Structure 1
Amino acid sequence: MIKCRLSSLLGDRKLKIADVARDTGINRGTLTRLYHETAERIELDVLDKLCEYFGCEVQDLLRHEAGTSAR
């Protein structure tokens, strides 16, 4: 299962979804779905903007966790 760590990154930096939306131009709804891990897909440009914004790599934002996989 793929887990998004956006909520952790925001918490570590004491940021809000609105801050990231304003600073990156990423739709707030997209960020909210990533934050709550309800997103079913993510555009590569969104990943790129988030990695650039947080100064991180994709593996810092998304993690693969072994276990149950939705099929």
Structure 2
Amino acid sequence: MIKCHLSRVMGEQKLKISDVSRDTGINRGTLTRMYYETLVRIDLDTINTLCEYLAVSLDELLEYQRCEKSA
């Protein structure tokens, strides 16, 4: 499972979704889905833009967590 830390990063930088959308040109709906971790897929250009804008590395924005399988 991929965890998105956009809400934490934005909170630390005191940013609103509308500010990030306006400044980056990323669709507000895309940012909202990332913020609430309901996003199913994302474009690599979007990830690159967010990392540059927020001045974070990829692993600060996204994290892979291994899913435990039920027996």
TM-score after normalising by structure 2: 0.90
Quick one: which amino acid aligns to residue 30 of structure 1? Answer: T
Aligned to 2:67: 67
> For residue 22 of structure 2, what is the aligned residue in structure 1?
22
Residue ranges of structure 2 left out of the alignment (5+ in a row):
none
Residue type at the aligned position of 1:48: N
The count of aligned residue pairs is: 69
The offset of 1:66, in angstroms, is: 2.9
Matches for 1:32-51 after TM superposition, within 5 Å:
32-51=32-51
Distance of 1:5 and 1:68 partners within structure 2: 21
**Which runs of 5 or more residues in structure 1 are unaligned?**
none
Larger radius of gyration: 2
Alignment correspondent of 1:10: 10
Distance 2:18 2:44 in 1: 20
CA distance in 1, matches of 2:53, 2:64: 22
Listed one character per residue, the Cα deviations across residues 14-58 of structure 1 (whole Å, up to 9, x for unaligned) are: 110000001100000000000000000010010010000011111
Shift of 1:68: 4.1
RMSD: 1.2
